[in-house]
A = this chain, B = another copy of it.
């Protein structure tokens, strides 16, 4: 048996060692943010490089913390794509902030489980309150507040929120039989051709079948055509299927299209379908009254989600998922083994969030939200959201003014879709040249069949200067083609 290190009672890092190494790690992160623009945004390693630089087996004996941190810097960092770089414009942002990182650090330090109210009351109560704070700050309908019949919960991602919403809808549509007896009825779900792939994944997981997901055509702004939705539901009903779930999107991944909830809502009501609204990135914009129109018609929704871990300076994972009727969600996801029974739960006076999600365990994620909301205040968040939208709009105007380029979609907020008029191949080469340069990172989509570049402005430290430089680089590379 290995003996403990000579001068210590155990192999653990004691509090004084933690203090020292913790300061070093905090310093590493502070320094990283100071030098972050010096790295190529997109990692340049090739498949297998990182693994090849590391031993094939775990060490037998422990190693000094300093050496691990050095190796992290030397071996891991080159394999990292710098999502926190202000020159990161790819996908959707996954932005973080000091306040959030430190709130999350406290969550790691406390190491509590929030599966039940009883396992750490503050973990549950702060979460419920933060979701209420956000519902009010976003101007969400009253029914999503915990003080009404609904309420909010933190999920890891919008994909999981979509799955939970779809499951609750499935239960409702089957008179609460599907969980118990399995899928027997033929249900049908709907999202637009531009909706997120999470719905396709969820309907497969739920045993309904991907064949029963209808992708509804979109209008010229890439928003769902509500009349086409109603027609599809009618047709399915006539074929003996049950339209049960619609996932509308307020800000699609592809081009940030805003589905018309005010038209989709009544169609859902007519057919008795659950309306889930996915506003994963764009939802944060509703903090600003001038962008709140993206939620027009949200009063029709049965559930809603947005991700502070995308555009609200809160590090992953943090998806805020709201339901209008919490009983439906709880009834869908609740199981109660003896070893989880406790007085508080049985009193009915508390929320047990394990019944609001797929996993059982859960960490204290509301701490980082609390830190962000207090450190920035609503006005601080509004300021930065407005700035991102302003500079994205500026970028769009530059694109419009350059005769070689064309905007591929409307720009309601912070995502600009555009292409060179000279065809797909030129755009693919442009994208590759830009990303290879390391100066910035963009990704693509296809709109109306065209290979389209996406420029999403949402990184915490992205300012006008970064977007100006990105545009200059895009113009340079376009000229070089």
Contacts and interface: CB of A to CB of B under 8 A. Distances in A.
Contact of A22 (B10, B94, B102, B181): B102
Given A59-B373, A91-B119, A183-B207, 10 more contacts: A2-B383, A11-B381, A28-B109, A58-B136, A76-B367, A96-B108, A156-B156, A159-B361, A183-B209, A207-B208
A54 B122 CA distance: 11
Nearest to A348: B47
Nearest to A2: B379
A79 B125 contact: yes
Contact of A201 (B159, B335, B367, B382): B335
B379 A254 contact: no
A254 B338 contact: yes
Interface in A21-41: 21-23, 25-34
B51 A129 contact: yes
Interface in A394-446: 443-446
B63 A375 contact: yes
A329 B332 CA distance: 25
A167 B163 CA distance: 14
Given A81-B120, A129-B51, A367-B76, A446 B207 contact: no
B28 A15 contact: no
Range, interface on chain A = 35 or more
B181 A209 contact: yes
Nearest to A203: B182
Contacts of A76: 122, 126, 367
Interface stretch (A110-118, A265-273, A291-299): A110-118
Contact of A51 (B17, B43, B125, B445): B125
B25 A105 contact: yes
Nearest to A19: B30
B45 A122 contact: yes
A238 interface: no
A273 B10 CA distance: 44
A33 B15 contact: yes
B79 A120 contact: yes
A480 interface: no
Contacts of A227: none
Contact of A59 (B16, B374, B382): B374
Contact of A367 (B18, B72, B123, B315): B72
Nearest to A461: B12
Contacts of A14: 98
